[in-house]
Amino acid sequence: MKVRAFRAQAQFTASTFHKLEANLRSYYFNVSSNRWLALRLEAIGTGFVTFAAVLAVAGAGTVSGGQGGLALTYALNITQVKGMIALKVSRNAKRFSKWLHDLAPYF
């Protein structure tokens, strides 16, 4: 069955553009919320690193340079791990919501 055979090109085009616009609208909100979360997580990570650096400088007499560097390295790693955990949780939430949507007809 062809769209042109039924002279429904205009209807098909309008329907396609409407579906495309709905898809792009949801994609925009998804990308915006991801950027919002990433900005907040980066701010928290910056706080961790700043706090570790201030403590390393403040304890210059009692903390060696190696220990201060190790503290900064751990602070940076915590920031990266926090981002990965947020990514995994969001992916699992998407899978869980899809799973619930698929099970909805049975309840």
Domain span including residue 45: 4-106
Q: Considering the chain, what percentage of its residues have pLDDT values greater than 90?
A: 21
Alpha-helix runs per DSSP H in the chain = 9-58, 65-103
Q: How far apart, in Å, are the Cα atoms of 55 and each of 42, 52, 65, 90?
A: 20, 5, 12, 33
Q: Residue 2 above 60 pLDDT?
A: yes
- Residue-wise pLDDT for 51-89, tens only, equals 999 999 998 889 898 999 999 999 989 888 888 888 788
- Return the residue matching tokens 């790693």: 77
Q: How many domains does the chain have?
A: 1
- The two structure tokens encoding residue 36: 């919002």
Q: What gap in Å lies between CA 3 and CA 11, rounded to an integer?
A: 9
pTM of this structure? 0.62
Q: What gap in Å lies between CA 69 and CA 75, rounded to an integer?
A: 10
